[in-house]
Amino acid sequence: MTNRYCRSVTSQNFDRLTGKVAVVTGAASGIGLAITEKFLAEGACVVAGDVDVAGLTSMTTLASDRFLMTAVCDVTTETDVENLFAVAQSHFGGVDVVVANAGAGTYGLLADHTLEEWSRIIDLCLTGVFITVKHASKTMRDGGSLLTIASLNAIQPSKGMAAYCAAKAGVAMLTRVAAMELGERGIRANTIAPGLVRTNATSGLFSVPAVVDEFVENAPLSRHAEPSEIAELATFLASDQSSFMSASFLSIDGGGNTGRYPDLPRIFQALDE
């Protein structure tokens, strides 16, 4: 029986971003793609940036160019990021929401970690976010919402993931600085920190059942996430529903931050034996 005081809010949940223009990096796959799809469903206009040209091309079926523009953008190249924001300005007239999402992981124990690999991950996962946040700061309209995608690894260390952990911890602090600098313009800045999510980036981990098993054992909710669950949180943070939230670090990891990260060297060594 339906309680007359309980009405469905479904219709309200599909226009939370109407009138807003969003820029999403790393938008052609995984979490970035799910965020783009959800933002479009909630009424936003989106400028999607990625290095994956084929992925961007396939995205053009998601919406007409009245709502979705794609641009090739390597977040480690400042002119590409400038161009991404210029597309948003020229096509949609401004920017209200920015999601600095592009990133990738790596594995290597400290003693074996090359400087090149360290620099590649820091460039992509930290400097790329800095460049995106810098141009977001210059371009966003007052009252906007800036999101960065860090990771459980921003707060939970893992053997073999020094560069990624350091970069993601840096993203969390960079976002808090952005919140301080942009607050006077009413711009909010928050960090999303996912645990294990099934995407292209984690297909390697998912091919090793022992890794997924340890994630699941360590998470009170005993499972991994799907990208759409991260997109729900991103939508809430992008919308006016989170109007008093800034400088927040939001774990979305099934509670995995209460445990410990899978022992990757032990698991990988066992595979070699």
Q: Which residues bind ligand NAD (CB under 6 A)?
A: 25-26, 28-32, 50-52, 55, 73-76, 101-104, 124, 128, 149, 151, 194, 196-197, 199-202
Q: Which is nearer to ligand NAD, 141 or 159 (CB)?
A: 159
Annotation marks residue 107 as catalytic: no
- CB neighbour class for 233 (10 Å; exposed up to 12, middle 13-18, buried from 19): buried
Cα–Cα distance between 269 and 22 in angstroms, integer? 43
Name which of 25, 5, 132, 31 is nearest 70 in CA terms: 25
Least distance to ligand NAD, CB of residue 80, Å: 8
Q: Which is nearer to ligand NAD, 52 or 229 (CB)?
A: 52
- DSSP assignment, residue 141? P
Residue given tokens 């965020």 in the structure block: 35
Name which of 200, 205, 199, 193 is nearest 252 in CA terms: 193
List phi, psi (to 5°) of 249.
-115, 110
List phi, psi (to 5°) of 78.
-60, -35
Which one from 5, 107, 164, 261 is the annotated catalytic residue? 164
Least distance to ligand NAD, CB of residue 25, Å: 5
* Amino acid letter, residue 148: T
> 89 CB contacts (<8 Å, ≥6 apart)?
95, 139
For residue 50, the SS3 value is: strand
Q: Which is nearer to ligand NAD, 139 or 257 (CB)?
A: 257
Total Cβ atoms within 10 A of residue 171: 25
Q: Which is nearer to ligand NAD, 76 or 235 (CB)?
A: 76
Q: Which is nearer to ligand NAD, 25 or 257 (CB)?
A: 25
Least distance to ligand NAD, CB of residue 41, Å: 18
Least distance to ligand NAD, CB of residue 12, Å: 28
Cα–Cα distance between 213 and 216 in angstroms, integer? 5
Least distance to ligand NAD, CB of residue 108, Å: 16
> 54 CB contacts (<8 Å, ≥6 apart)?
none
Least distance to ligand NAD, CB of residue 215, Å: 9
Cα–Cα distance between 188 and 218 in angstroms, integer? 32
* Amino acid letter, residue 195: G
Q: Which is nearer to ligand NAD, 13 or 248 (CB)?
A: 248
The catalytic residue positions are 164
